[in-house]
């Protein structure tokens, strides 16, 4: 029998791995497209702002030229009084507009008659008949005349000249009004713009001659009068000189830096403005992502090829085995031993692959939570707006879908951590009554909407503070109660806690959630706590769910040293229970009882909050949600900006919401700077991040943060987390 061709297996493996590679490439392309679109918009807005500022300056200068020109024409035959009035007017204008170097009037022969400013060699006998702007005016050009950059005749350096032709009432040429602006004035204005490293601001005339070029790096600047421009800019100027704005990418001939440029033409002057962003800044987000996806794609291809090779080897072995049946028993035994070794190796590889899968899921959790935060945050904003009935139903559907996706994500992440052996308990002192009441409060509204009674049955008397993982205990109770309400259409759901054993310093408690729902058939009870398993397929079709919640709950209870089980009667209801041992917390470690603080209707009224997040969408959503609770919010894009804002106004904020993963300066480094460099040890800093791993929470606490909120979040949960860190007077309604 012919052996199967290896090429078929390898081609199949490559085809199977091509789809993830194509999807990864598409995602990277989308990120790059978005970043470059944002960069173009930012650069163009900056170019428009600077161009508008320069045009306003030119308009002011033009108004002065018209004014002194009129006085000159009126005073040609008006005697000494008119001339004195004109001279004082010119001197006043020079004083009022410090960006002007010189302001003067020349007669029809080009001799300067009156002027203000600095004139090298003196004003007496100065004449400008050979200057191009005078020639243009003498030849009949009307309106505002621009020339520049020019070497200054009556001073040092370069200037831009604005002039106007002067005529008497008969329309005869009688002179020219001239104002000169030094190039240093434009450079000084460009230097006030908040610029990024290797970014440039370029001001050129319509012919492309450089007037001013500014960069944070002095080595990237160029001398005035430089006419060297890139081929792409030259093409734009030649193709359509009247084009209002444009974009292009090129390597600057002056410094060899590749940039994305925004071109903005001045509407009332023969100049244009360029704002250049270095492309390496725009590539910071998508290139690492591309590298990660490349590694992932290569790993997928290699794994597929390895599997193809194994499958091909197995296929060949099966064919060869058919021809070896007549061989001796010893040979057969030897073959079986070899196969057994291969099986052991395969199991080891499978375990390694399972661990890699778990780590990958944990990494992807962060990337999924960021857009999910935008979806759920937008849903909360919509729910707080004026909607009709149909729109409210759509928002409820979207919110439910987002919440289900968050639960699924959390379940998958927990399962991956459990399988990888990375799940650790976070032990602390807690109030058992508070935990159970919080669970009941969470599900009070869903139970009421279905007409169900939700009751809590706690042991009589005072309950001591216990030591354990309160978050995981609440997770298991939430899962049990949520399932009970989901599968119960009438009757009641009861949460009960019973003390089984009590000794000095320890308790053994039995928790149970009992419902009057649909119940579970006896043959399905044994598989309830397995991953991805539900009692019946019809259960999924009617109620949904992934079948992970009970499996994770069982693993968590076993990790706490307890046991879990269920009793049920089909059609009459179920009781899910677990037994867990707890230590009693020492009095010094017992949590303080909660005290009721009367808050205004808007619970964050007047609270000043600094929001730090590198993603614009996240900043907008958090700002709008907190503003709806009465907070006064200000948002910045990274940790460095937050530190500088607090350095400028240390008492300007009551609380900081800090993202962790950000460019330039991340949230951990920024928090350390706030604590140590600025000395703001009492200012609450709350982490708001898509990283939900316990190790990330510990890093945040170690850096000096006070608490931790994982994205996506519910507004009421965020408010509940923020409120304990605010002083009572902070949330007073009288605060303005």
Which of 9-18, 460-469, 726-735 is predicted with the least confidence, judged by mean pLDDT? 726-735
Q: What 3-state DSSP class applies to 707?
A: strand
Per-residue confidence band for 140, with pLDDT thresholds at 50, 70 and 90:
very high
d(CA 664, CA 666) in angstroms, rounded, equals 7
How far does the chain reach from its first CA to its final CA, in angstroms?
89
Provide, rounded to the nearest whole percent, the portion of the chain with pLDDT above 90: 40
d(CA 276, CA 238) in angstroms, rounded, equals 20
Which CA distances in Å does 425 have to 48, 144, 434, 699?
A: 56, 77, 19, 16
Per-residue pLDDT of 605-625, as tens digits, reads 999 999 999 999 999 999 999
Number of CB atoms found within 10 A of residue 488's CB: 21
Which CA distances in Å does 481 have to 469, 519, 545?
A: 19, 14, 14
Per-residue confidence band for 134, with pLDDT thresholds at 50, 70 and 90:
very high
Which CA distances in Å does 160 have to 19, 146, 151, 250?
A: 59, 7, 9, 28
Instruction: Scan for tokens 């907008």, then name that residue.
Output: 620
The helix (H) or strand (E) run that includes residue 502 is strand 492-503
d(CA 426, CA 424) in angstroms, rounded, equals 7
Per-residue confidence band for 16, with pLDDT thresholds at 50, 70 and 90:
confident
β-bridge pairing 685-689 and 655-658: parallel
Number of CB atoms found within 10 A of residue 731's CB: 24
Instruction: Scan for tokens 């008659």, then name that residue.
Output: 113
Answer yes or no: are the C-beta atoms of 94 and 87 closer than 8 Å: no
Chain mean position to CA 354: 31
Q: Is the pLDDT of residue 596 over 50?
A: no
Q: How many helices (H) and strands (E) does the chain have?
A: 18, 22
Per-residue pLDDT of 356-391, as tens digits, reads 665 566 566 667 777 877 787 788 877 777 888 787
d(CA 485, CA 483) in angstroms, rounded, equals 6
Average confidence score pLDDT of the chain:
84
Provide, rounded to the nearest whole percent, the portion of the chain with pLDDT above 70: 87
Tell me what pLDDT residue 598 has: 45
Per-residue confidence band for 535, with pLDDT thresholds at 50, 70 and 90:
low
Per-residue pLDDT of 653-680, as tens digits, reads 999 999 999 999 999 999 999 999 999 9
Pick the closest to residue 21 from 290, 283, 287 (CA basis): 290
What's the CA angle centered on 190, arms 188 and 192, to 5 degrees?
A: 80
- Tell me the pTM: 0.43
Q: Is the pLDDT of residue 209 over 70?
A: yes
Pick the closest to residue 415 from 356, 361, 364 (CA basis): 361
Tell me what pLDDT residue 409 has: 64
**Partners of residue 632 on adjacent β-strands:** 608
Answer yes or no: are the C-beta atoms of 114 and 91 closer than 8 Å: no
Q: Which residues fall within 8 angstroms of residue 105, CB to CB, at 6 or more apart?
A: 68, 69, 72, 86, 90, 112, 113, 114, 115, 166, 175, 176, 177, 178
DSSP category for residue 452: -
Per-residue confidence band for 540, with pLDDT thresholds at 50, 70 and 90:
very low
Instruction: Scan for tokens 């009492």, then name that residue.
Output: 682
Per-residue confidence band for 167, with pLDDT thresholds at 50, 70 and 90:
very high
Per-residue pLDDT of 629-656, as tens digits, reads 999 999 999 999 999 999 999 999 999 9
Which CA distances in Å does 9 have to 16, 133, 554?
A: 11, 79, 41
């Amino acid at each position: 029998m012919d052996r199967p061709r290896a090429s078929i297996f390898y081609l199949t493996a490559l085809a199977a791995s091509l789809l993830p590679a194509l999807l990864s490439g598409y995602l990277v392309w989308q990120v790059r497209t978005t970043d470059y679109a944002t960069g173009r918009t930012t650069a163009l807005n900056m170019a428009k702002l600077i161009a508008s500022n320069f045009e306003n300056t030119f308009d002011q200068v033009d108004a002065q030229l018209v004014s002194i020109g009129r006085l000159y024409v009126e005073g040609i035959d008006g005697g000494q009084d008119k001339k004195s009035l004109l001279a004082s007017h010119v001197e006043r204008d020079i004083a009022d507009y410090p960006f002007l170097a010189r302001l003067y009037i020349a007669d029809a022969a080009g001799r300067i008659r009156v002027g203000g400013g600095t004139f090298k060699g003196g004003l007496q006998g100065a004449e400008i008949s050979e200057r191009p702007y005078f020639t243009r005016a003498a030849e009949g050009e009307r309106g505002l005349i621009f020339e520049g950059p020019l070497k200054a005749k009556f001073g040092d350096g370069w200037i831009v000249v604005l002039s106007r032709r002067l005529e008497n009432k008969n329309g005869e040429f009688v002179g020219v009004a001239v104002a000169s602006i030094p190039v240093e004035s434009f450079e000084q204005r460009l230097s006030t713009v908040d610029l990024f490293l290797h970014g440039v601001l370029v001001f050129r005339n319509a012919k492309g001659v450089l007037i001013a070029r500014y960069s944070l790096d002095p080595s990237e600047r160029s001398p005035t009068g430089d006419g060297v421009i890139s081929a792409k800019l030259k093409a734009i100027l030649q193709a359509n000189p009247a084009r209002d704005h444009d974009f292009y990418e090129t390597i600057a001939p002056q410094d060899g830096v590749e940039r994305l440029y925004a071109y903005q033409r001045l509407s009332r002057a023969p100049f244009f403005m360029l704002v250049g962003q270095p492309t390496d800044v725009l590539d910071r987000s998508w290139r690492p992502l591309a590298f990660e996806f490349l590694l992932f794609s290569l790993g997928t291809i290699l794994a597929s090829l390895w599997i193809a090779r194994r499958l091909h080897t197995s296929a060949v072995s099966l064919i060869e085995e058919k021809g070896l049946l007549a061989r001796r028993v010893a040979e057969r035994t030897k073959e079986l031993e070899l196969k057994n070794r291969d099986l052991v190796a395969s199991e080891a590889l499978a375990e390694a692959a399972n661990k890699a899968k778990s780590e990958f899921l944990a990494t992807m959790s962060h990337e999924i939570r960021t857009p999910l935060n935008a979806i759920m945050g937008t849903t909360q904003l919509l729910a707080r707006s004026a909607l009709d009935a149909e729109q409210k139903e759509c928002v409820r559907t979207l919110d439910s879908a987002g919440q289900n996706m968050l639960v699924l994500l959390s379940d998958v992440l927990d399962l991956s951590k459990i399988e990888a052996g990375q799940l650790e308990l976070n032990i602390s002192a807690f109030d058992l009554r508070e935990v159970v009441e919080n669970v009941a409060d969470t599900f009070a509204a869903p139970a009421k909407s279905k007409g169900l009674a939700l009751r809590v049955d706690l042991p009589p008397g005072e309950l001591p503070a216990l030591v354990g993982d309160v978050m995981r205990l609440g997770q298991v109770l939430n899962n049990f109660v949520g399932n009970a309400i989901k599968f119960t259409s009438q009757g009641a759901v009861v949460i009960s806690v019973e003390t089984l054993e009590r000794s000095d310093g320890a308790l053994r408690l039995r928790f149970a959630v009992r419902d009057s729902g649909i119940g579970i058939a006896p043959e399905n009870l044994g598989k309830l706590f397995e991953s991805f398993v539900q009692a019946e397929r019809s259960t999924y079709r009617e109620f949904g769910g992934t079948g992970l919640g009970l499996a994770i709950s069982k693993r968590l209870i076993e990790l706490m040293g307890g046991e879990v089980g269920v009793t049920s009667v089909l059609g009459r209801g179920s009781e899910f229970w677990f037994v867990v041992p707890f230590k009693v917390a020492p009095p010094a470690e017992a949590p303080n009882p909660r005290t009721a603080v009367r808050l205004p209707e808007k619970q964050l009224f007047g609270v000043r909050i600094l929001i730090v997040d590198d993603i614009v969408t996240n900043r907008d959503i958090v700002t709008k949600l907190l503003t709806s609770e009465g907070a006064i919010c200000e948002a910045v894009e990274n940790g460095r900006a937050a530190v500088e804002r607090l350095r400028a106004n240390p008492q300007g904020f009551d609380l900081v919401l800090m993202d962790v993963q950000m460019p330039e300066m991340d949230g951990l480094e920024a928090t350390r700077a706030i604590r140590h460099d600025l000395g703001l040890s009492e200012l609450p800093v709350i982490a708001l991040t898509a990283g939900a791993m316990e190790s990330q929470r510990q890093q945040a606490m170690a850096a000096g943060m006070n608490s931790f909120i994982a994205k996506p979040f519910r507004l009421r949960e965020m408010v509940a987390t923020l409120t304990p860190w605010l002083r009572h007077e902070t949330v007073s309604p009288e605060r303005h």
